[in-house]
Chains A and B, each alone.
Chain A
Amino acid sequence: MSTWPDIAASDDHYLGLAGANVVATESLLALRDNLADVVDAKAMMCVHGDAGLGKTLSVNASLRALAPADVCRVQFRARPTPRDIRHVLFDALGASGTPPQRPIEFDALLKNVLAERFRVLVCDEAQWLSRECFEFWRHLWDDRRTDIAIVFVGGGDCYRVLRREPMLSSRVYVWQEFRRMNPEQVLRVIPVFHPVWANTDPADIAYVDTHAGHGNFRAWSRITAHTVTALARLDRPRPDRQVLQWVFSRLGGSDE
Chain B
Amino acid sequence: MNELAPVTVLLDPDDDAGLTAALLQLHDPPSGVVVIHPTPSSGRATSLAHDLLAGLGRPIAQLGPEGLGGSKQAWRAARAAMAADPPQAVVLLRTQTLTPASLQPLLTLSPQSGTSLLLVCHTRTLPPALTQLLDHIEHQVLTDLPAAINRHALDIPAVTGPPDDGRADTCPNRLPQSKLPMARLGVYRAEAYRRLPPHQFAQFDTHYRYGMDAALAHLRNETGGTSRGQFLSATTWDSPTRLHTYARIRGMQAGFLWHGRDLLIRAPLRQLCGPGLTSVPFTLDIATRIRAQAAHPLVAAALAITYFTGIDAAARSYLSLEAIAPGGATVTISHHESHDRIKDVIRLHLSSADYRVGFHVPPLARPFLIGARAFLLEHPNPIAARPAAIDTKLASALRRCQIPLPHRPYQPRNRLYAIAGTWQLHATAVPFRDPIQEPGHDVAVQARDVGTPAPAASRARYDPGDTGPPSLLDPTPNGTTRHLNLIESYLSARHIPQPAATPDLDDLLFALRLTPRPSPLPWMPPNQRRRQSNHRDP
Contact = CB atoms under 8 A, between A and B. Distances in A.
Interface of A: 81-82, 101-105, 107-108, 132, 135-136, 139, 142-144, 166-167, 170-171
Contacts of B479: none
Contacts of A104: 39, 41, 47, 50-51, 54, 60, 63
Given A105-B64, A170-B15, A142 B40 contact: no
Contact of A144 (B24, B39, B64, B122): B24
Interface in B1-44: 13-17, 20-21, 24-25, 37, 39-42, 44
Contact of B63 (A81, A102, A139, A166): A102
Contact of B69 (A102, A107, A135, A166): A102
Contacts of B24: 142-144
A246 to B, nearest CB: 52
A171 B97 CA distance: 18
B48 to A, nearest CB: 10
Given A135-B94, A142-B24, A166 B37 contact: no
A107 B39 contact: yes
A81 B50 CA distance: 20
A15 to B, nearest CB: 37
Interface of B: 13-17, 20-21, 24-25, 37, 39-42, 44, 47, 50-51, 54, 60-61, 63-64, 69, 94, 97, 122
Nearest 6 interchain pairs by C-beta = A166-B15, A136-B40, A103-B41, A104-B50, A135-B40, A167-B15
A142 B17 contact: yes
Given A102-B50, A102-B63, A144 B25 contact: yes
Contact of A139 (B39, B50, B54): B39
23 contacts: A101-B64, A102-B50, A102-B60, A102-B69, A103-B39, A103-B41, A103-B44, A104-B54, A104-B60, A104-B63, A107-B40, A108-B54, A135-B40, A136-B40, A139-B37, A142-B21, A142-B24, A143-B37, A144-B21, A144-B24, A166-B13, A170-B14, A171-B17
A133 to B, nearest CB: 8
A82 B40 CA distance: 7
A132 B40 contact: yes
B17 A108 contact: no
B122 A167 contact: yes
Contacts of A142: 17, 20-21, 24, 37
Nearest to A166: B15
Nearest to B14: A170
Contact of A105 (B14, B17, B61): B61
A122 B97 CA distance: 25
Contacts of A101: 64
Contacts, number: 63
A16 B37 CA distance: 43
B204 to A, nearest CB: 47
Nearest to A105: B60
Nearest to A101: B64
A113 to B, nearest CB: 15
Nearest to A141: B17
B14 A166 contact: yes
A82 B42 contact: yes
A82 B41 contact: yes
B17 A102 contact: no
Contacts of B97: 135
Contacts of B54: 104, 108
B433 to A, nearest CB: 70
Nearest to A172: B17
Nearest to B43: A132
A29 B40 CA distance: 36
Given A166-B15, A167-B122, A170-B16, A102 B64 contact: yes
Q: Most chain-A CB neighbours within 10 Å: which of B15, B40, B44, B61?
A: B40
Contact of A103 (B13, B20, B21, B40): B40
Contacts of B47: 103-104
A170 B64 CA distance: 36
Nearest to B68: A102
Nearest to B50: A104
A166 to B, nearest CB: 4
A68 B60 CA distance: 33
A250 to B, nearest CB: 46
Given A139-B37, A142-B37, A171-B15, 4 more contacts: A104-B63, A108-B60, A167-B122, A170-B15
B35 to A, nearest CB: 10
A77 to B, nearest CB: 21
Contacts of B21: 142, 144
Nearest to B35: A144
A147 B193 CA distance: 61
Given A102-B50, A103-B39, A170 B61 contact: no
A108 B16 CA distance: 23
A218 to B, nearest CB: 33
A101 B69 CA distance: 10
Nearest to B123: A166
A15 B44 CA distance: 43
A102 to B, nearest CB: 6
Contacts of A81: 42
Nearest to A86: B40
A82 B13 CA distance: 24
B394 to A, nearest CB: 21
Contacts of A108: 54, 60-61
Contacts of A170: 14-17
Q: Most chain-A CB neighbours within 10 Å: which of B14, B17, B54, B122?
A: B17
A244 B42 CA distance: 53
A103 B16 CA distance: 25
A132 B42 contact: yes
A167 B18 CA distance: 11
A49 to B, nearest CB: 25
A112 to B, nearest CB: 11
Nearest to A134: B40
A107 B51 CA distance: 11
A4 to B, nearest CB: 24
Given A142-B20, A144-B25, A166 B39 contact: no
B266 to A, nearest CB: 50
A81 B40 CA distance: 10
Contacts of A102: 50, 60, 63-64, 69
Nearest to A107: B39
B72 to A, nearest CB: 16
A170 B20 CA distance: 11
Nearest to B21: A142
B59 to A, nearest CB: 10
